[in-house]
Amino acid sequence: MAVTGRIDGVPSEIWHEEVLAPQFAYEAEHLLGHYVAIEKVLLLEYVRMDLADASGAADLAARLDTLSPDAVRADPEQNMSDISFAVERHVQDGATPPFPAWHVDRSRNDLQACAQLMAARDTLAAVAEDLTTFARAVLALAGRYTETPMPGYTHGQAAQIVSPGFHLAALGAETITALRRMLHTYDECDACPLGSGTMAGQELPWDRARMADLLGFARAQPHALMAVASRTWTTLIAGDLAQYAVVLSRFTTDLMTWAGSDSGFLDLPDELAGISAAMPQKRNFPILERIRGRCAHVAGRAADIAAGQRNTPYSNTVEVSKEAGGQLRVQTDAMRSVLRLAHAVVAGATFRTDRMRAACAEDHLGGFTLANRLTLTYGIPWRTSQIIAGRYVRHAVRRELRPGEPDAALLRDCAAESGHPIDALDALGALLAEAFDVDHGLRAKQSAGSTHPQRVRELLAGQGVELDALGAAWAGHAARRAAAEGRRDAALAVPGRRPA
């Protein structure tokens, strides 16, 4: 049976091999289950509109349940290498012929847009699950190192004393922000295109709200043209993933620095390490390079998806829906790979507390504290206190004085040079000892969100609570999708009929 009367030819070999067959294989693997769900909803609507009886719809539903990637194939002669036509042919070849009105008032445009959006919802939810798992691993690692001093860096230079827990809590916060943003994107995109037709709506009184509900959507997309033409949901999802990939690449850069031989702060197990073929002394961590490299792929695919839509007409086009839209699956696969690798790193990472403490003790990281104390204790204007503290550090470095070797006389001279003489050497010595004490440096900050161990623990506790709430929200979406599937199957069941 021909599928069209408009043309007599079949797709050429080059057209089939280069475009149609790969597209067919992609849709058979990733979209076929969604096509089946949509077809079942259409059957229920035909029954509601008295264009089919329940028994006939159940027969076709049973036939649809036999669809699988192995049951259909791209065939230029039989289905023009198009999966929608292949589904039609598979049903028509069954033991029970379709009722005459089957597929009346139908278009591939909204069917394909709906299947693509359903698949995107599923993959976004899968990424969210991976992100949640990764975030919990980050929080667990951070919780073990809230009281471990390490140098914090600005502009590539050691700046203040922080802790691995403090730094990782920032990664936890960024991950939770990404989850929150993705949840908003899911809600924003959770509008069903089905029932919009080619572009201008449909001629039969389809109950679009019911169809949306039976497919697990929150609502129907109100505007028919927007339903089939817009792929803003692809750029929204791609943008969310790209933003997080950029953030994760920055934290990965920190991990690479910490794991480098110059720092030696971070270690990974042998199972995540590599070697040099020429230098037997080396122990490399190429997994970190892989993570950062794949983050670039995630960000790059977002650019591909946006570029693929730019300057195209606002209608349903293959260029937008398939050529550009297909990159979303590639991007989400890359993102999930990144998260699996990053999870392995975080789960296996340990910090060298001795190396980090030694690095803190080697540098005068308490200069900020010293300036504050000069102002708060002796009433010296703060900018002048900054000058005094800077001069003290400069002279101490030139004299090769370690931070743990306070020189009260030197500080007195620096203060006097700035017009603020202080004669209490014992007090100045105590002030210096406190300002440059490593453990005190970690606890000196008191404000919410600071590196103080208690503040970090509060951050992590709050992040854990928000992760639970976000997890519940994502679980609610999954439950709605599952419930919709149950309603579809129940509505198509015919009493007394044995399941196919």
Task: Report the CATH number at residue 230.
Answer: 1.20.200.10
Say what the pLDDT of residue 118 is: 97
The helix, strand and coil proportions of the chain, stated in percent and rounded to the nearest 5, come to 65, 5, 30
Say what the pLDDT of residue 78 is: 85
| 162/85 same-domain check | no
How many CA atoms lie less than 13 Å away from 110 in the CB half-sphere?
31
Of 256, 258, 274, 276, nearest to 266 by C-alpha is 258
| Statement: the pTM of the whole predicted model exceeds 0.75 | yes
Say what the pLDDT of residue 125 is: 97
- What confidence tens digit (pLDDT) does each residue in 99-146 have? 999 999 999 999 999 999 999 999 999 999 999 999 999 999 999 999
Which residue shows structure tokens 């300036």? Answer: 371
Say what the pLDDT of residue 278 is: 80
Say what the pLDDT of residue 144 is: 97
CA distance 163 to 245: 24
Say what the pLDDT of residue 281 is: 73
Q: Is residue 273 included in any domain, yes or no? A: yes
Final residue of a domain: which of 70, 104, 138? Answer: 104
The Cα-based distances of 394 to 101, 363, 424, 428 in angstroms read 88, 12, 22, 17
Say what the pLDDT of residue 2 is: 67
Q: Token pair of 389, please?
A: 């503290």
| 87/210 same-domain check | no
Q: Token pair of 9, please?
A: 């030819």
Tally of structural domains, the chain: 3
Other CB atoms within a 10 A radius of the CB of residue 158 amount to 16
Q: Please give the sequence-ordered ranges of beta strands (E in DSSP) within 54-120, or none if there are none.
A: none
Of 299, 296, 287, nearest to 255 by C-alpha is 287
The per-residue pLDDT string of the chain (500 residues; one tens digit each, 9 = 90 and over) reads 566 767 777 889 998 999 999 999 999 999 999 999 999 999 999 999 999 999 999 999 999 999 999 999 988 888 888 899 999 999 999 988 899 999 999 999 999 999 999 999 999 999 999 999 999 999 999 999 999 999 999 999 999 999 999 999 999 999 999 999 999 999 999 999 999 999 999 999 999 999 999 999 999 999 999 999 999 999 999 999 999 999 999 999 999 999 998 899 999 998 988 877 788 777 888 999 999 999 999 999 999 999 999 999 999 999 999 999 999 999 999 999 999 999 999 999 999 999 999 999 999 999 999 999 999 999 999 999 999 999 999 999 999 999 989 999 999 999 999 999 998 999 999 999 999 999 999 999 999 999 999 999 999 999 999 999 999 999 999 999 999 999 999 999 865 444 43
Say what the pLDDT of residue 275 is: 78
| 113/99 same-domain check | no
Give residue 423's domain range: 366-435
Measure the CA angle with vertex 177, ends 174 and 180; round to 5°.
Answer: 155
| 221/325 same-domain check | yes
| 385/262 same-domain check | no
| 118/94 same-domain check | no
Q: Is residue 492 included in any domain, yes or no? A: no
Cβ-contact 488, 198 below 8 angstroms: no
Final residue of a domain: which of 83, 104, 125? Answer: 104
Say what the pLDDT of residue 494 is: 60
Q: Is residue 232 included in any domain, yes or no? A: yes
| 180/123 same-domain check | yes
| 255/380 same-domain check | no
Q: Is residue 229 included in any domain, yes or no? A: yes
Q: Is residue 378 included in any domain, yes or no? A: yes
Q: Is residue 498 included in any domain, yes or no? A: no
The Cα-based distances of 98 to 33, 60, 71, 207, 493 in angstroms read 20, 7, 18, 22, 17
| 292/386 same-domain check | no
Final residue of a domain: which of 104, 130, 155? Answer: 104
Say what the pLDDT of residue 461 is: 98
Q: Is residue 358 included in any domain, yes or no? A: no
| 292/379 same-domain check | no
Cβ-contact 265, 258 below 8 angstroms: yes
| 54/187 same-domain check | no
Q: Is residue 360 included in any domain, yes or no? A: no
| 319/208 same-domain check | yes
β-pair partners for 219? 191
